[in-house]
Amino acid sequence: MNRPILIVDDEPDMCWVISHIIQSQGLHVITAYSGEDACFKLMHGEFSFVFLDAKLPDMDGLEVARRASTMVQGRPRVVLVSGYHYYDDPVVRHAIAEGIICGFLAKPFTNKELLNMLNND
């Protein structure tokens, strides 16, 4: 996995936690704190994974995922991260079935759960 991983969350502390866990594996991370910033970075960079918060101040996380699935070359694998939704939530199940996300990570999560998402590539 030589392309960076994009972390999208409006909470800087959550970006730091996810980044720290991923960087401990020797991987490169880039962060975005809004949906607009995430879309810009997705359009101008190539990412292997995106860990995407479901609730952003300017845009729904699933809307960012939907845009990424249609306008980004080399489509990254998108994992939805949320303290609001749950794995069996119909919204999450539909997004997985639709192919706009590849997985879901519930907040709070463990380091192992996060790393399992990366290793299920």
- Summarised one tens digit per residue, pLDDT across range 93-118 is 999 999 999 999 999 999 999 999 99
Helix (H) or strand (E) holding 51: strand 49-53
88: confidence class by pLDDT, cuts 50, 70, 90: confident
DSSP state of 53: E
Q: What is the pLDDT of residues 7-65, one digit of tens each?
A: 999 999 999 999 999 999 999 999 999 999 999 999 998 899 999 999 999 999 999 99
Q: What CA–CA distance (Å, rounded) separates 9 from 16?
A: 10
The pLDDT of residue 83 is above 60? yes
Helix (H) or strand (E) holding 55: none
Ordered by start, the domain boundaries in the chain are 10-109
pTM of the model: 0.93
**Fold of domain 10-109:** Rossmann fold (3.40.50)
Q: What counts of helices (H) and strands (E) characterise the chain?
A: 5, 5
